Amino acid sequence: MVSAAAVEAKGVTKVFGGGPDSVRALDGVSVTIQENEFFTLLGPSGCGKTTLLRLIAGFDFPTEGEILLYGQDIAPLPPFKRPVNTVFQNYSLFPHMTVGQNIGFGLEMLNKPKAQVDARVAEMLRLVRMEELRNRKTSQISGGQQQRVALARALAPAPKVLLLDEPLSALDYKLRKDMQIELKRLQNETGITFIFVTHDQEEALTMSDRIAVMSKGHILQVGAPRNIYDHPAERFVANFIGETNFLQGELAGTAGSKANVRLACGGAAIAATLPEGFSPKEKVTVVVRPEHAQIVGNGTRATLTGKLENVVYFGTDTHFHVRLQDGSEFIVRQQNNRTNPHKFAQGDQAGIVIDDNAAQVLRD
Ligand code: ATP
């Protein structure tokens, strides 16, 4: 089944202010978010995530470009007429009202009949598993419970798209983990498109169907978590998400999205995935995740060789720091095996085998 585009941003630019002090918060952003997707905008502070969310919600307007909702330009629609709702970082609950009143508030504003509001509030309380707290004031419930009320309130009018602006950042680590699972469940059960904003890469990787990585008002890469993690095509993305090894080299041969790269640290040329836009013989940077390589004895099977400078035990896994022949460092992360522990020690000459399909050429 081909799913419909729920939200489309087309060449969206947002400039705040004028003259030399103006800020280009978004610069020609184009992205399509599918119906029923859990879509995450991920990037560091100030990259434009909240600005994009606010434009979708209608709290602000693009300087250039347009935003379509199910194919319709939504520019003429004020926020309350858009089938979109927002969960804010600080929840914005009414402390003097009960949980039930908070959840029903939006529906009452829409003049829905009381019986309908009551039924919907009960349904939402069931959904967020808070039936017993219906009559409690929101000032008398915990942070995690407030988060659930904020979600229930935003979901009550059955929006087509739910915007979530760093909704878990005020929660402590354990609660945040629980709420990540809870959010995913809510999205599955309601089938509503979620657009989630975070600067936390782990949160993005664990919850999203797709992630857009943003930097300085641009979307650099869009893809499924595994794709973004395994094949970061941009240096910023490789650096921002997870740890990685950077290797210098030169293209020795290319065929479509595949390349052979001769590495500066020696050894045979390695196969790597190649983004578009490279010329033959170009100098390139290749990235390999530390867990996508194995440490082996200094034999012929190794792709790279070097001296083991450090062996760091982390309980679940061990990190091997290898100094390669060109002076660069390569880290291999290997899961610990109780029955067959590794036999490498600091100072050993070691080999590294890079897994198939693990090397990626970077666009700088
Ligand atoms: P954070 O994670 O810190 O919330 P963000 O990625 O959501 O960051 P935005 O809030 O979208 O970033 O801000 C993008 C840029 O636009 C920043 O440089 C910010 O200072 C600027 N900006 C945002 N809103 C305004 C405004 N109303 N007036 C002027 N500049 C603004």
Atom 28 of ligand 1: nearest residue by CA position = 16
Write down the residue that tokens 């479509």 correspond to: 256
- Model pLDDT, residue 223: 96
Instruction: Give the pLDDT band (50/70/90) at residue 167.
Output: confident
Q: How many A from CA of 64 to the centre of ligand 1? A: 17
pLDDT greater than 90 at residue 337:
no
- Model pLDDT, residue 204: 95
Q: 239 φ, ψ to 5°?
A: -75, -40
Atom 31 of ligand 1: nearest residue by CA position = 16
Residue type, 168: L
Average pLDDT, the chain: 92
Average the pLDDT over 183-194 and give the result: 92
Write down the residue that tokens 């606010």 correspond to: 54
pLDDT greater than 60 at residue 299:
yes
pLDDT greater than 90 at residue 307:
yes
What is the share, in percent, of the chain residues with pLDDT greater than 70? 99
Strand partners, 247: 286
- Model pLDDT, residue 3: 67
Ligand 1 contacts (CB < 6 A) are 16-17, 23, 25, 43, 45-51, 199
Average the pLDDT over 196-207 and give the result: 94
Atom 27 of ligand 1: nearest residue by CA position = 16
Question: What pLDDT digit, counting tens, does each position of 338-354 carry?
Answer: 887 788 889 999 999 99
Q: Can you tell me the distance from the alpha carbon of 212 to that of 108, in angstroms, rounded to the nearest whole number?
A: 36
- Model pLDDT, residue 300: 63
Instruction: Give the pLDDT band (50/70/90) at residue 2.
Output: low
Instruction: Give the pLDDT band (50/70/90) at residue 330.
Output: very high
Question: What pLDDT digit, counting tens, does each position of 18-28 carry?
Answer: 888 899 999 99
Q: Can you tell me the distance from the alpha carbon of 87 to that of 147, in angstroms, rounded to the nearest whole number?
A: 9
Q: Can you tell me the distance from the alpha carbon of 130 to that of 122, in angstroms, rounded to the nearest whole number?
A: 9
- Model pLDDT, residue 104: 96
Q: How many A from CA of 50 to the centre of ligand 1? A: 7
- Model pLDDT, residue 240: 93
- Model pLDDT, residue 143: 86
Question: What pLDDT digit, counting tens, does each position of 233-283 carry?
Answer: 889 999 999 899 999 999 999 999 999 999 988 888 899 999 888 988 899
pLDDT greater than 90 at residue 80:
no
Atom 11 of ligand 1: nearest residue by CA position = 48
Q: How many other C-beta atoms are found inside a 10 Å radius of the C-beta of residue 214?
A: 28
State the closest ligand 1 atom to the C-alpha of 26, by its place in the atom list counted from 1. Answer: 14
pLDDT greater than 60 at residue 1:
no
- Model pLDDT, residue 326: 87
Q: Which residue, among 172, 85, 158, has the nearest Cα to 127 in the 3D structure?
A: 158
- Model pLDDT, residue 127: 87
Alpha carbon 175 to its chain centroid, in Å, reads 19
| pTM, entire model | 0.89
Highest averaged pLDDT of the listed ranges 90-94, 123-127, 175-179? 123-127
Q: Can you tell me the distance from the alpha carbon of 323 to that of 349, in angstroms, rounded to the nearest whole number?
A: 9
Q: Which residue, among 97, 79, 149, has the nearest Cα to 121 in the 3D structure?
A: 149
- Model pLDDT, residue 249: 93
